[in-house]
Amino acid sequence: MFSKLVVFEARLDVLDRQLMDPAVASDSRRLRDLTREASRVRDIVDQWHAFQRLETELTGAREVLVGESDPEMRELARSEIADLEQRRAATERDIKLSLLPPDPYEGRPILLEIRAGTGGDEAALFAADLYRMYQRYGERNGLRMEEISSHPITVGSTLGLKEVVTAVTGEAAYRTLRFEGGVHRVQRVPLTEAQGRIHTSAATVVVLPEPDEVEVRIEAKDLRIDTMRAGGPGGQSVNTTDSAVRIVHVPTGLTVLCMDEKSQHKNKDKAMRILKARLLEKQQAEQNAAESAARRAMVGTGDRSERIRTYNFPQNRLTDHRIGLTLYKLDAVVEGDLQELFDSLNATWQAEQLQKSGLG
C-alpha cells in the first residue's frame, strides 16, 4: 500500500502545476475536475505525512521505554505508545479509505424523488413524512433543498404527497443520501382508522445524481414536448394558460410532467432536468444488471423495488434491513436525526469496499 503513496506525491506536484496553467483556468470543466482531483490527492499525501510522523514518534517512545529505568517514566512511555499506536491505526485506515477509487458522483447535486406506494392515502401521508424528515436533516447539516415538482393531496386536514421531486445541493448531498433509494415501509395506525388497527404502507425513494452534459446527450429529434393547462391548485393563471409541460423521451419511453410553475419555460427546464437524471439512472441500472450479485454492495443496489427500511411507530422502532440496524428512536429520526443511521450505512459500505480492494 505505502509504495503507492510516493506516486501520489508526484501526482500532486503535476496537478499543482496544471492548476497554475492559464489554459486550465479558462476551461471551467477541466478546472473543476483537476481541482477536485488535487483536493483528493492532497488529502492522501497529508495523511501519509501524518502517518510518517506518528511512526517517528512511536519509534522514539519505544526507545525511551527500553532505555528508561524510572518506573514512572516507563509508565508514561507505555501510555504514549498506546496512544500513538491507536492514532497510527486510525490514520492507516483513513489512508486505505482514501485510496479507494472515488465515486464518480461524489460532490454532485442530486434529485431526490419520493412517491407514495401501496397503502392509498396513508402512503401519501407517509411520503410527506419522509420528505419532511429529509428537509429537517438538510436544515441541520447544510444541504439545500429546492422543490422541483410535487403532487400534493389532502387527507382530512393533513397534507400528503403522491409524488415530490426535490433538488439537493451541497458537497455532501450525494455522499449522505446515496443509500436512501428503495422501498421505505411504515407500520402505524392511520388517521383514517377508527378501530386503532395497525396498517402497513410504503413509499419509494429514488436518488438521482444530476448528470454532466457529456454523460447524457439528448437529441431534439428524440423528444416529444406537449404543453397543456395545469390542473389543481395554483391560482387562476395556472388553470387558464398552457403552462404545464410534458416531455417524452421517445427512444426509452421515459415521460416527465411538470406543472408547478406558472411559466411554461420554467416547467420545461425543470422537466428536462428530471429527464436527464432519469436517463442517467437508466444507464446505471443497465450497468448494474450486468454485474454479478456478489459484486453488488451490501447496503443495496439502490433499486427502487428493494425494501430497505421499516418505520414501526407503535414500537418507536426503525430497522434498516440491509445492515441489520435497529434504532428505538423513531420519533427523533422522523424529525431529521439521521446521522447515526447514515454513519452506519457508510461504515458498512467502506468495510465492503476495503475488502473488495484487498486493503481490508
- DSSP notation for 218-256: --GGGEEEEEE---SSS-HHHHHS--EEEEEETTTTEEE
Within a domain: residue 117?
Answer: yes
pLDDT at position 302 is 52
Same domain, 92 and 196: no
- For residue 140, pLDDT over 70 is answered with yes
Q: What mean pLDDT comes out for the span 339-344?
A: 96
Same domain, 36 and 95: yes
Report the share of the chain in percent with pLDDT over 90: 64
pLDDT at position 2 is 64
* Number of domains observed in the structure of the chain: 3
- For residue 237, pLDDT over 90 is answered with no
Q: Is residue 89 a contact partner of residue 83, using CB atoms and an 8 Å limit? A: no
- For residue 292, pLDDT over 50 is answered with no
For residue 308, report the phi and psi dihedrals to the nearest 5 degrees: -110, -25
Same domain, 254 and 316: no
pLDDT at position 303 is 56
Domain endpoint, select from 99, 127, 144: 99
Closest CA to 47 of 107, 89, 105: 89
Give the CATH number for residue 88: 1.20.58
Q: C-alpha cell of 304? A: 427502487
Within a domain: residue 104?
Answer: no
Same domain, 141 and 205: yes
Q: Is residue 203 a contact partner of residue 125, using CB atoms and an 8 Å limit? A: no
In sequence order, which residues have a C-beta less than 8 Å from that of residue 194 and are 6 or more positions away?
none
Model confidence at 299, pLDDT cuts 50, 70, 90, reads low
Same domain, 305 and 206: yes
Within a domain: residue 309?
Answer: yes
Residue in this structure with the C-alpha cell 483556468, named with its chain if needed: 25
How far is 141 from 61, CA to CA, in rounded Å?
40
pLDDT at position 139 is 96
Within a domain: residue 53?
Answer: yes
Within a domain: residue 105?
Answer: no
Q: Is residue 293 a contact partner of residue 223, using CB atoms and an 8 Å limit? A: no
28 alpha carbon, distance to own chain's centre: 25
- For residue 276, pLDDT over 60 is answered with yes
> Which range marks the domain in which residue 145 is found?
110-214+295-357
Give the CATH number for residue 270: 3.30.160.20
What are the pLDDT digits (tens) for 278-290? 999 888 887 776 6
Q: Is residue 164 a contact partner of residue 114, using CB atoms and an 8 Å limit? A: yes
- For residue 240, pLDDT over 60 is answered with no
Q: Is residue 249 a contact partner of residue 268, using CB atoms and an 8 Å limit? A: no
Task: List residues bridging with 116 in a β-sheet.
Answer: 203
- For residue 136, pLDDT over 70 is answered with yes
Within a domain: residue 239?
Answer: yes
Q: Is residue 314 a contact partner of residue 114, using CB atoms and an 8 Å limit? A: no
Same domain, 121 and 209: yes
pLDDT at position 215 is 79
Within a domain: residue 198?
Answer: yes
Same domain, 265 and 243: yes
For residue 344, report the phi and psi dihedrals to the nearest 5 degrees: -65, -40
How far is 284 from 104, CA to CA, in rounded Å?
12
Model confidence at 194, pLDDT cuts 50, 70, 90, reads low
Same domain, 231 and 84: no
Tell how many helices (H) and how many strands (E) occur in the chain: 10, 11
How many CA atoms lie less than 13 Å away from 218 in the CB half-sphere?
23
Same domain, 172 and 313: yes
Give the residue, 235 or 303, on which the prediction is more confident.
Answer: 303
- DSSP, collapsed to helix, strand or coil, labels residue 330 as helix
Model confidence at 131, pLDDT cuts 50, 70, 90, reads very high
Same domain, 182 and 239: no
How far is 358 from 355, CA to CA, in rounded Å?
5
Amino acid letter, residue 55: E
Same domain, 229 and 322: no
- For residue 352, pLDDT over 50 is answered with yes
Tell me the CA distances in angstroms from 252 to 221, 246, 276, one per residue in order. 13, 15, 12
Q: What one-character DSSP code corresponds to residue 321? A: T
Per-position b or e across 332-341, b if 16+ CB within 10 A of its CB: ebbebbbeeb
Model confidence at 229, pLDDT cuts 50, 70, 90, reads confident
What are the pLDDT digits (tens) for 91-102? 999 999 888 888
Same domain, 266 and 317: no
Domain endpoint, select from 288, 306, 321: 288
- Supply the pTM of this predicted model: 0.81
Domain endpoint, select from 269, 288, 307: 288
Q: C-alpha cell of 307? A: 425494501
What are the pLDDT digits (tens) for 40-85? 899 999 999 999 999 999 999 999 998 888 888 899 999 999 999 9
Give the CA diameter of the chain: 92
In sequence order, which residues have a C-beta less than 8 Å from that of residue 46 and are 6 or more positions away?
none
